Structure 1
Amino acid sequence: MPELKRLDAGHAPAVLAFELANRAYFAASVSDRGDDFFDQFTDRPAGPADPAHLGGKSGTWFQRDLVLEPQV
C-alpha cells in the first residue's frame, strides 16, 4: 500500500512539473493563474533557507512577495 508523506521543499520540482503538465485540466474547472504565476517558480533553487522553530517543532520559512494592485 502506498505511504503518504508530507511535502517539503525537495518536492518542488515534481509539484511544479505536475502543475504544468495538468494546467489545462485545472483551468477547465478553476481560473488559470497565468504564465507569470508559474514563471516565478522556474528559477528558484529547491531546498529551504533556514529552519523555522514553531512551538518546539521544526518547519520551513517561506516568503511570498505581494504586489498590490489598485482597486477599480
Structure 2
Amino acid sequence: LQEIKLFVQRAPSASNIQDYLFGVCHIQCYLSELWHIQYYSSEIRHIQYYLSEIWHIQYYLSDTRHIQYYL
C-alpha cells in the first residue's frame, strides 16, 4: 500500500512516463492478486462448509447405528 501511495503522489512527466505505466501495471497486478486471494478464501470457506456437512452426515449415521442397537 505504501508503494501505491508513493506512486499516486508522483505526477508523471515526459521523462518518467514509462515508469508511470510500469507502476500502473504493478497496481493492476496487485489488485488482481487481491482478487485471487479473496476468491481462494471463499473457496476455503466452501470447503469448510462441505466438511461440516460431512461431519453432520457422519453424526446422523452414528445416530442411526445407535437406533439399530436399541432395536
| TM-score > 0.5 by shorter chain | no
Which one has more relative contact order, counting CA pairs under 8 Å at least 6 apart?
1
Greater helix fraction, Structure 1 or Structure 2: 2
- TM-score class, shorter: under 0.3
Of the two, which has the highest radius of gyration?
Answer: 2
TM-score, length of structure 1 as denominator length: 0.28
Greater strand fraction, Structure 1 or Structure 2: 1
